[in-house]
C-alpha cells in the first residue's frame, strides 16, 4: 500500500464491503479525497489515479491550487468541506462543485445573491451539529427544517443534502449514533415532504477513521484525507 492508487483502491474496497454488509449499492457512495495541506503535485497524482472529487477547507488554499492545477480543470470536481465565513462566500461562487458545510440563513443569502450575480447556481449541503458540540459549526436539529426551507426558496443555490462531523472518538463505532442521527433527520424531513427526497439525497459523513461506519449508516459522500494522502503534519 504505497502509492495513492493502491490506497484509493483499498479504501474503495472497504467502502464497497461496508455497503454490502447493510445491503446498499456501493455505486451510491463516492469518495471525496481531502487534499488540504497537500502540495499540488499530490493532487495531480490523485487525479492521475482516477480520483475526481478533491476536498479543501481553506478558501485561499483552494483558490491557489485551482490556479496551479488549471490544466486539470475538466477532470477535477472541487469540494469545499470547511466552515465558510460569509465574507468569503463570494470568492468560492462558481469555483466549487459542492459546498459541504453551509449552516446559516445569512450564508445562504450571501451565496444566493453572489451566485445570481455571477449567473451560476451553487450546490450545497447543510451542516448539522448532531452532537451539539459548543465548539463545532453546523445548525442544530431544531434549526434544520427552517434552514432547509430557506435554502429551497433561493434560486441561486441548490440544496443537495446534509453533512455532519461527529466528535472525535478512538473507537469508530462510537460515532455510529451520530451518523445514524443525520440519516434519521433526513428521512423524517422526506417523510413529511416527499419533494425533499432529491434535495436531501446526499449525506456527507465519515472520515479516515470512521468511514465504514458512516457507509453502514447511509453516507453517500465520505471525506477521506490522511488514509489516502498520508498523515498530515
Ligand atoms: C480534514 C477533514 C476531513 C478528512 O479527515 P481525515 O481524518 O484526514 O480523513 C474530513 N472532513 C473535514 C471537514 C475535514 O476538515
For 149, the grid coordinates are 426551507
Task: Give yes or no for a contact between 33 and 46, defined as CB atoms under 8 angstroms apart.
Answer: yes
Tell the residue nearest (CA) to atom 7 of ligand 1: 208
Q: From ligand 1's centre to the CA of 130, what distance in Å?
A: 17
The closest alpha carbon to 158, from 113, 112, 122, 127, belongs to: 122
Is 165 touching ligand 1 by the criterion CB < 6 Å? yes
Find the 224 Cα to ligand 1 centroid distance in Å.
Answer: 6
Q: pTM for the full model? A: 0.97
Query: What is the distance between the alpha carbons of residues 140 and 155, in angstroms, rounded to a whole number?
Result: 24
What pLDDT tens digit does each residue of the chain (233 aa) get?
Answer: 589 999 999 999 999 999 999 999 999 999 999 999 999 999 999 999 999 999 999 999 999 999 999 999 999 999 999 999 999 999 999 999 999 999 999 999 999 999 999 999 999 999 999 999 998 899 999 999 999 999 999 999 999 999 999 999 999 999 999 999 999 999 999 999 999 999 999 999 999 999 999 999 999 999 999 999 998 87
User: Is the distance from CB of 66 to CB of 78 less than 8 angstroms?
Assistant: yes
> Within its chain, how far is the Cα of 206 from the centroid?
9
Q: Which residue among 34, 133, 209 is best mutated to probe the pocket of ligand 1, counting the most ligand atoms within 8 A of its Cβ?
A: 34
CB distance 226 to ligand 1 below 6 Å: yes
Ligand 1 proximity of 230 Cβ (cutoff 6 Å): no
- Rg for the chain (alpha carbons), in Å? 17
Cβ–ligand 1 contact at 136 (below 6 Å): no
CB of residue 57 inside a 6 A radius of ligand 1: yes
Q: Report pLDDT for 113.
A: 98
Q: What's the confidence (pLDDT) of residue 230? A: 92
Query: From the CB of 46, is ligand 1 less than 6 Å away?
Result: no
Three-class SS state of 161? strand
What pLDDT is stored for residue 1 in this prediction? 54
Amino acid at each position: 500500500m504505497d502509492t495513492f492508487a493502491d490506497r484509493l483502491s483499498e479504501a474503495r474496497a472497504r467502502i464497497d464491503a461496508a455497503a454490502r454488509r447493510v445491503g446498499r449499492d456501493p455505486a451510491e457512495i463516492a469518495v471525496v479525497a481531502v487534499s488540504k495541506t497537500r502540495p499540488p503535485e499530490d493532487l495531480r497524482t490523485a487525479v492521475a489515479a482516477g480520483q475526481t472529487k478533491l476536498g479543501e477547507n481553506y478558501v485561499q488554499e483552494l483558490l491557489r491550487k485551482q490556479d496551479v492545477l488549471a490544466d486539470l480543470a475538466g477532470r477535477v470536481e472541487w469540494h469545499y468541506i470547511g466552515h465558510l465565513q460569509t465574507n468569503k462566500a463570494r470568492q468560492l461562487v462558481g469555483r466549487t462543485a459542492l459546498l459541504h458545510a453551509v449552516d446559516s440563513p445569512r450564508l445562504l443569502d450571501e451565496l444566493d445573491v453572489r451566485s445570481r450575480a455571477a449567473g451560476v447556481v451553487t450546490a450545497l449541503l447543510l451542516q448539522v451539529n448532531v452532537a451539539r458540540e459548543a465548539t463545532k459549526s453546523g445548525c442544530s436539529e431544531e434549526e434544520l427544517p427552517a434552514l432547509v426551507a430557506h435554502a429551497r426558496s433561493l434560486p441561486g443555490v441548490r440544496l443537495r443534502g446534509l453533512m455532519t462531523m461527529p466528535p472525535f472518538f478512538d473507537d469508530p463505532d462510537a460515532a455510529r449514533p451520530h451518523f445514524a442521527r443525520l440519516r434519521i433527520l433526513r428521512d423524517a424531513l422526506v417523510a413529511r415532504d416527499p419533494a425533499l427526497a432529491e434535495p436531501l439525497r446526499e449525506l456527507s459523513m465519515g472520515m479516515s477513521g470512521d468511514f465504514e461506519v458512516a457507509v453502514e449508516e447511509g453516507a453517500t459522500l465520505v471525506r477521506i484525507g490522511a488514509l489516502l494522502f498520508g498523515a498530515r503534519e
